[in-house]
Amino acid sequence: MKSHPHSWFGIVFFTLIFYLCLILCSFWIGAENHSMLHLVGFVTVLAGTLGSAFASYPTTEITTALKVARNSYCIQPPTKKEIVDALLDLSRKSRMDGLLALESEEERVSIQFLRRALSMLVDGFTVKELCDMLNNEAYFFQQRRAQHERIFRHLARLALTSGIAGSVVVLIGILANNSDSAMILGGIPAALTSLLYGIILANFLFIPVAENICTKTHEELLIFKLVTEGVALISRDYNTLRLQTALESFVAPQVRDIQHKSFQEIHDQYGTFKRT
């Protein structure tokens, strides 16, 4: 896995720009009271959201979801082209030296799922057993990620609900304790700040994080499928050209630059690879 710091930079940069625009709007609308800045409203929304979240899920589930969210922005999975190239190299070595020769490649492979698949292949698992185990692992990976995504979508609903509740409570307090219409109208902006913070947290923080987890999960599941298919074909002793043709369908056409080679070119490449 490769680090991917640019996402964090973009998120922080555009989030700061967004909040700066809100603050400037607040100064422009009412310079004397800064109506969009209300600490009590923000604390109310945050406390309501987190309190309900910890009441809904175990602490370990929430901390794990936070780690998954961080990794979804900080770590970039390998590209499909890199996976295809790795599988083609493993196929060449397998056809030259046999499946047992792949045992020495396990430690060199940096992709954990591919390393696990190679380990099962070298240990003599049948194609059906290998595919069943890898598909089960991908299935439960998807279930865990769906739970983490669901936590952030639930946080979005809680933030919006907490914002509405905070605004209603403040409005009730204003209407109950004041008979002057001017004072009531003056307190409405402060009451609406809780709703504003709830909308911001829900739609500009929690939902984007959930969508990012969903997107990265689909990318990794496609990689799992690619690895499973590739290792299964290697175990069936597919030649490199047929393997290349089967696997390149996983790569998007606009980034597909795999070139078909003649039999003589592949034979010469085998000889060079074996000598080195």
> How many CA atoms, within 13 angstroms, populate the side-chain half-sphere of residue 51?
8
Per-domain residue ranges for the chain? 36-253
Non-local CB neighbours of 61 within 8 Å, separated by 6+ positions: 147, 151
Query: Tens-digit pLDDT profile for the chain (276 aa)?
Result: 555 544 555 665 666 676 566 555 555 555 445 555 677 788 888 899 999 999 999 999 999 999 999 998 888 888 888 888 888 887 777 766 655 555 555 555 557 788 888 888 878 888 888 889 999 999 999 999 999 999 999 999 999 999 999 888 888 878 877 777 777 776 777 778 889 889 989 998 999 999 999 999 998 999 899 889 888 888 887 777 777 777 777 777 666 654 555 545 555 655 665 565
Q: What is the pTM of this model?
A: 0.77
Give the whole-angstrom CA distance, residue 157 versus residue 163.
Answer: 10
Give the per-residue pLDDT at 135.
92
